[in-house]
Amino acid sequence: MSDHALALPALPAVAPRRRVDHDDRAALSLVGPIAVLMLLLLLAPTAAMIALSLTDAELGASTITFVGLDAYRDVLGDRTFLISAKNTALYVAIVTPASVGLGLGFALLIEAGTELRGFFRSAYFLPVVSLITAMATVWQYLMHPAIGPINLLLHVVGLPSINWLGSSDNVLGSLALIGIWQQTGFDMVLFLAGLGAIDRTLYDAAEIDGARSAVDRFRLVTWPMLGPTLLFVVTITMINAVKVFETVMTLTQGGPAKASEVLLWTIYQEGFVFLHLGTASAMAVIFVAVLLVLIVFQTRVMDRRVHYG
């Protein structure tokens, strides 16, 4: 793209045209393309999903019957879907506090000193930029019951082997461990940003007021100032955890015995493997409703962050 701004003749300055019709026409060419995309890629499919969820549509079937809210009644009474919802909730309940807690702890420790700051930050952040499907296959090897290095290590220190992914009692916990490994660095980076935004003079003020120890400084300054960031990190971690899919598809396919069946995997199976578009749509509507609650909560948290941040 050449830049000929200098070559333009020095015309008498035209007052910037602020007439409304001009903006209307210019705006149309600027927002028109994206308006069309929104219609095609967002609004129409969303409407179609809601419409489909009220039918018994199946790909390849010749007829579609309107079944109304019955699809939802079926989904909410479906054993697999209920197990899936319960597993997803449990997964979120493990991954969220663990990765937020570790992320905060690591961020505080990294900030507390100067040595190896960059190295630690990069090491913890690495999983965020690593292909999760590939790393999941690595974890599959690490967690192999016989030749996996984790069980070999347990053996060295005299502990019994664990059937990480093959037992229905352990599988969700093992997936959660991988989820925590993947999420902690992301949370840590958000906390580092939050810590960096705290006004240093507050610490000086606290010290003048008698806050001598690190614990006092944390209690009086860091924790209250970090509050909005904390709420924000908690919600974003929950949103990410609800969307767990890659590790399940790569490692367990929902098994054994549905013990790692999670919502996105169930929807994926129902819609794209069994081709039950109606049922899958009803499940997706419920899934989106759950996400919406979290996102609306997050937006409110964001507002607070803007006010205090």
Partner 1 sequence: MSASPHTLTPVGRSLRLLVLGIGAAVMLFPYVWMIATSFKPQAEVFSSGLSLIPEHSSILANYGKALGRIPMGRVLLNGVVVCLAIVVFQIAFALPAAYALAKLRFRGRDLMFGLVILGLLIPIHAVSIPMFAAFRALGLINTLAGLVVPFTLSVFAVFLFRQFIKAMPDDLIHAGRMDGLSEGAIVRRIVLPNAWPAATAFAIFSVVTHWNDLYWPSIVISKTELATPPLGVLFFRAAEAGDDYGALMAATVIVTAPLVVFFLFAQKAFIEGITMTGLKG
Q: Which of residues 262-291 bind partner 1 (CB under 8 A)?
A: 264, 267-268, 271-272, 277, 280-281, 284-285, 287-288, 291
Chosen residue from 79, 147, 157, 307 binding partner 1 by CB under 8 A: 147
Nearest to 270 by CA among 89, 71, 91: 71
Our finding on whether 26 is near partner 1 (CB under 8 A) is yes
For 247, residues 6+ apart whose C-beta sits below 8 A from its C-beta are 132, 136, 139, 175, 178, 179
202 to 221, contacts with partner 1 by CB under 8 A? Answer: 203-204, 214, 217
Nearer to partner 1, 79 or 215 (CB): 215
Q: How far is CA 40 from the centre of its chain?
A: 25
Spatial separation of the C-alpha atoms in residues 231 and 292, rounded to whole Å: 17
28 to 57, contacts with partner 1 by CB under 8 A? Answer: 28-31, 33-35, 37-38, 41-46, 48-49, 52
Q: Minimum Å distance from CB 124 to partner 1?
A: 5
Nearer to partner 1, 47 or 76 (CB): 47
Q: Minimum Å distance from CB 163 to partner 1?
A: 16
Nearer to partner 1, 124 or 169 (CB): 124
165 to 194, contacts with partner 1 by CB under 8 A? Answer: 181, 184-186, 189-190, 192-193
Q: Minimum Å distance from CB 261 to partner 1?
A: 16
Two tokens at 36? 């069309």
Spatial separation of the C-alpha atoms in residues 157 and 65, rounded to whole Å: 62
On whether the CB atoms of residues 103 and 191 are closer than 8 A, the answer is yes
For 258, residues 6+ apart whose C-beta sits below 8 A from its C-beta are 80, 83, 84
Our finding on whether 198 is near partner 1 (CB under 8 A) is no
Q: Minimum Å distance from CB 90 to partner 1?
A: 20
- Please identify, among the stretches 62-70, 82-90, 92-100, 107-115, the one whose residues bind partner 1 according to the rule CB under 8 A: 107-115
On whether the CB atoms of residues 195 and 268 are closer than 8 A, the answer is no
Tell me how crowded residue 284 is: count the other CB atoms within 10 A of its CB.
21
Spatial separation of the C-alpha atoms in residues 245 and 242, rounded to whole Å: 9
Partners of 55 in the β-ladder: 66
Give the CA distances from residue 72 to residues 16, 95, 103, 135, 242, in Å, rounded to whole numbers and listed in that order: 56, 29, 38, 36, 20
- Please identify, among the stretches 70-78, 114-122, 220-228, 253-261, the one whose residues bind partner 1 according to the rule CB under 8 A: 114-122
Our finding on whether 133 is near partner 1 (CB under 8 A) is yes
Q: Minimum Å distance from CB 272 to partner 1?
A: 5
Q: Give how many residues touch partner 1 by CB under 8 A.
A: 112
Our finding on whether 8 is near partner 1 (CB under 8 A) is yes
Our finding on whether 132 is near partner 1 (CB under 8 A) is yes
